[in-house]
Chain A
Amino acid sequence: MPLTFIDIERQKSWRIGLFFIILLLMYFSSAMVIMLVAFGDIFAKDFLRGVFASFYIFIIAAVLAFVHFYLLSYGVAQTIKEKLGAADPDPEDELHKRLHNIMAEIHVATGKKRKMACTVIPGQAMNALAVDDFKGNALILITEGLISRLSRDQTEAVIAHEAYHILSGDCRESTLVVSLFGFSMPFIEKIMIYGGRAYIFSFILFKLGNLLNMLISREREYRADAGAVRMTRNPLALAETLHLLSKNWRGTGLIGSDLEGLCIVNPRLDYLDESEGFFADLFSSHPPIRKRIEILLAMAHASVAELEAKRRQNEEKPLPKETEKKYYALDAQYVWQGPFAVAELAALPWFSTLTWVSDGSETITKASEIPACSALFKTRIKQTEGRTTDYLCPVCQQQLIKQHYEQTRIYQCNYCGGTLVDGDKLPRIIIRHENAWSEKIKAQARATLKENQQSYIIHSAKQGKNKIVSLRCPKCKAIMWRTFYSYAYLIEIDRCICGAMWFDKDELSMLQCMIENKMAGEDFGKEDSKEDRTPPVSRQ
């Protein structure tokens, strides 16, 4: 391994030439077989003509191989990006911005030798891959699930690992293997499933395809791990990441078996990958995760037990305290609004030092006389500055306020507590587990789910007669339709054709709570019959 990154020159590898020759031979031999089967008698009769014919076949095979080579490998980075549905980092999103910064940092660490871009694959899976094609596009693809659950240092380790693949040039080789031989794999898999009699044929093809992993050496992962450590000087972060990856869904089904050679860990749980020895070394594309972690931990002088303890600790989120005092405030129309937390009070546009405030008891005081409120007035102007939007709340026709929630942007109404979420941001919010849910939200979620489960059939039958309040989308003014989020998570939301979704107060938290705690189905219903406390929330 060279001492500095300047030394890592992109090797014009002889292996790339080898791949072309393999491809050429493949075409040539298959054409020759067809030739011999169809016109075998020509060869028998006239040897010279046979030699000429095979010469022509060779030229045709060479042209075909070249076209194949060019078409499939030239702009393959873009193809893979589109195939996985990856998008560039969203500048409005804090985690994406962090990712963008991390990419820039790694760029500095590598001495800016190579231009690399970073894109995000939507979804819960946890994996990352790098592609590098002949057009000069070097791409690092990282899943939303990974950036949401890793700390800054850990994400940096992953990016450094992928950047090393690109810098050292082995990424280009493996991208080439994937693009030349791998793209037919999903097709073959499909035949295997639906093929009937073609099963045996496709099974053989599938096994042959797996053999191509031979061309992607598992050594490269060890080297990239070492390279990442030399860049970030933080072996522990990478060890933690691998440990976490080994315990979670790495994208089986999302990332096809054609691309698995490019990933940081194999999305498929593969027996061969996890075993050692000559046979495994030869045929598998990834080294055992256990061994990778061992090597990294040896560098960091740490043990697996420490990793596990740390992971557990991170998973246990402290429950939010419900001790925060709530206040009611009297608005300009002399209607009591609330309850609001102190921070929510401050965001009300009409809230002033003279507003009458009650803490729920009989006493009513001016806001300025409550110390917690008066402290807010100092910072109040700065807080709402530039955060009001042109969008109006569909329920109470007031301006929505930009909010940061789970590190992305949502629009919230300060009156009814409703939330507008863009279609592309909701999946991110669901993946991120930053907030812990209070017992109140959990109980509400359970109750809503139960009630909706019971009344679902009646509800759908009555739908024609019931007067359903239809809201207009704050963004495009089209009428939104009211549906359940899904048939597993029966919670009513309003969807717009533009992708935006409207959640009434607490509905977003309830949805997140349901998904995180997997509250669906019958078993939950049984549990619930014992503790039916809170009534379901309905629209005001």
Chain B
Amino acid sequence: MVGLIVLGCIGVIIAWGIVTFNRLVSLRNEVQNSWKQIDVQLKRRHDLIPNLVSVVKGTMEFEQDTLEKVINARAKAVSAGSVQEKVTAENMLTQALGKLFAVMENYPQLRSNDNIMQLQEELTSTENRIGFARQLYNDLVAQYRIKQEVFPNNIFVAFFGGFKKEVYFEAEEEAKKAPQADISIRRDSSH
């Protein structure tokens, strides 16, 4: 009788172990996949920037400094290797682009250029997509971490290994301050 109970307990533990393991593996893959999604969108941005710069260049002769910052940030982002490096480089690029867009507002003649308006729409869309992809990635990383760290699972993970902690794609320092500002002002800079 006792033997049966012990056997049952072992069975339950093994079943739990399999379920947990599979859940962790699928989460790990989803995290990796969502990182790839960010990558796709970042690539899209890298491809669009040279177009924008070449179109804007003629009109914005006096803003060479801003343009150069964008070009440099892009070059750095393209060559970045590790995740952490990438995160910092991309955040710098986001900042540089934001500044460029702000400066572009001062040139009303750019507004009448269809080409630039289209590029700006494409870039706005890409920025949003990056934002959404990052949001999804961070949500998944959070879920993955929780799954690793809650009570019985942490023993299991320590025992098995192979499940490393993923890093969050954190927002740049500037953006972190945003919630303190007036919440009714939105990022509605496009159109």
A interface vs B, CB < 8 Å? 3-6, 94, 97-98, 101-102, 104-106, 108-112, 151-153, 156, 231, 233-234, 236-237, 300-302, 306, 310, 343, 378-379, 383, 404
Q: Which residues of B contact A112 (CB under 8 A)?
A: 37
Q: Which residues of B contact A231 (CB under 8 A)?
A: 132
Complex-state Cα separation, A302 to B132, whole angstroms: 24
Complex-state Cα separation, A20 to B109, whole angstroms: 61
The residue on A at minimum CB distance from B183 is A301
- Beyond contacts A105-B125, A310-B184, A383-B113: 13 other A-B pairs, Cβ-Cβ < 8 A, are A3-B139, A3-B143, A4-B139, A5-B139, A6-B30, A6-B143, A94-B117, A94-B121, A98-B121, A98-B191, A101-B125, A151-B188, A302-B184
The residue on A at minimum CB distance from B115 is A382
Min C-beta distance of A319 to chain B, whole Å: 17
The residue on B at minimum CB distance from A300 is B183
Complex-state Cα separation, A177 to B136, whole angstroms: 32
Show 22 A/B contacts (Cβ-Cβ < 8 Å), sorted by A: A3-B143, A97-B118, A98-B121, A98-B125, A98-B191, A104-B125, A105-B129, A106-B132, A108-B37, A109-B133, A109-B135, A112-B37, A151-B191, A152-B188, A153-B186, A153-B187, A236-B184, A236-B186, A301-B183, A306-B184, A310-B184, A378-B58
The residue on A at minimum CB distance from B189 is A152
The answer to whether A152 and B41 have CB atoms under 8 Å apart is: no
Q: Which residues of A contact B118 (CB under 8 A)?
A: 94, 97
Min C-beta distance of B29 to chain A, whole Å: 11
The main secondary structure of chain B at its interface with chain A is: helix
Contact with A along B66-78 (1 / 0, CB 8 A): 0000000000000
Complex-state Cα separation, A3 to B135, whole angstroms: 12
The answer to whether A343 and B112 have CB atoms under 8 Å apart is: yes
Min C-beta distance of B20 to chain A, whole Å: 17
Complex-state Cα separation, A438 to B35, whole angstroms: 52
Q: Which residues of B contact A5 (CB under 8 A)?
A: 136, 139
Residue B128 lies at the interface, judged by CB distance under 8 Å to chain A = yes
Which of A4, A102, A300 has the largest number of chain B CB atoms within 10 A?
A: A4
The answer to whether B121 and A101 have CB atoms under 8 Å apart is: yes
Q: Which residues of B contact A105 (CB under 8 A)?
A: 125, 128-129, 132
Complex-state Cα separation, A231 to B191, whole angstroms: 21
The answer to whether A111 and B188 have CB atoms under 8 Å apart is: no
The answer to whether B183 and A4 have CB atoms under 8 Å apart is: no
Contact with A along B93-111 (1 / 0, CB 8 A): 0000000000000000100
Min C-beta distance of A104 to chain B, whole Å: 7
Q: Which residues of A contact B128 (CB under 8 A)?
A: 105, 156
Residue B88 lies at the interface, judged by CB distance under 8 Å to chain A = no
Complex-state Cα separation, A343 to B108, whole angstroms: 13
Known: A5-B136, A152-B191, A343-B112. A97 touches B121 (CB 8 A): yes
Complex-state Cα separation, A4 to B59, whole angstroms: 45
Min C-beta distance of B26 to chain A, whole Å: 9
Q: Which residues of A contact B135 (CB under 8 A)?
A: 109, 233
The answer to whether A153 and B112 have CB atoms under 8 Å apart is: no
The answer to whether B121 and A108 have CB atoms under 8 Å apart is: no
Complex-state Cα separation, A151 to B124, whole angstroms: 13
Min C-beta distance of A131 to chain B, whole Å: 24
The residue on A at minimum CB distance from B139 is A4
Complex-state Cα separation, A306 to B184, whole angstroms: 9
Min C-beta distance of B132 to chain A, whole Å: 4
Complex-state Cα separation, A233 to B34, whole angstroms: 19
Residue B63 lies at the interface, judged by CB distance under 8 Å to chain A = no
Which of A152, A300, A302 has the largest number of chain B CB atoms within 10 A?
A: A152
Known: A102-B125, A108-B133. A6 touches B183 (CB 8 A): no
Q: Which residues of B contact A98 (CB under 8 A)?
A: 121, 125, 191
Residue B172 lies at the interface, judged by CB distance under 8 Å to chain A = no
Q: Which residues of B contact A233 (CB under 8 A)?
A: 135
The answer to whether A104 and B129 have CB atoms under 8 Å apart is: yes
Residue B173 lies at the interface, judged by CB distance under 8 Å to chain A = no
The residue on A at minimum CB distance from B191 is A152
The answer to whether B121 and A109 have CB atoms under 8 Å apart is: no
Min C-beta distance of A160 to chain B, whole Å: 10
Known: A94-B117, A98-B121. A111 touches B136 (CB 8 A): yes
Known: A104-B125, A108-B133, A379-B58. A4 touches B140 (CB 8 A): yes
Min C-beta distance of A473 to chain B, whole Å: 26
Complex-state Cα separation, A108 to B113, whole angstroms: 29
Residue B190 lies at the interface, judged by CB distance under 8 Å to chain A = yes
**Cβ-defined partner of A153 (8 Å) among B30, B34, B122, B188:** B188
Min C-beta distance of A94 to chain B, whole Å: 7
Q: Which residues of B contact A236 (CB under 8 A)?
A: 183-184, 186
Q: Which residues of B contact A379 (CB under 8 A)?
A: 58-59, 109
The residue on A at minimum CB distance from B127 is A105
Q: Which residues of A contact B187 (CB under 8 A)?
A: 153
Complex-state Cα separation, A106 to B132, whole angstroms: 8
Q: Which residues of A contact B133 (CB under 8 A)?
A: 108-109
Complex-state Cα separation, A153 to B191, whole angstroms: 10
Residue B114 lies at the interface, judged by CB distance under 8 Å to chain A = yes
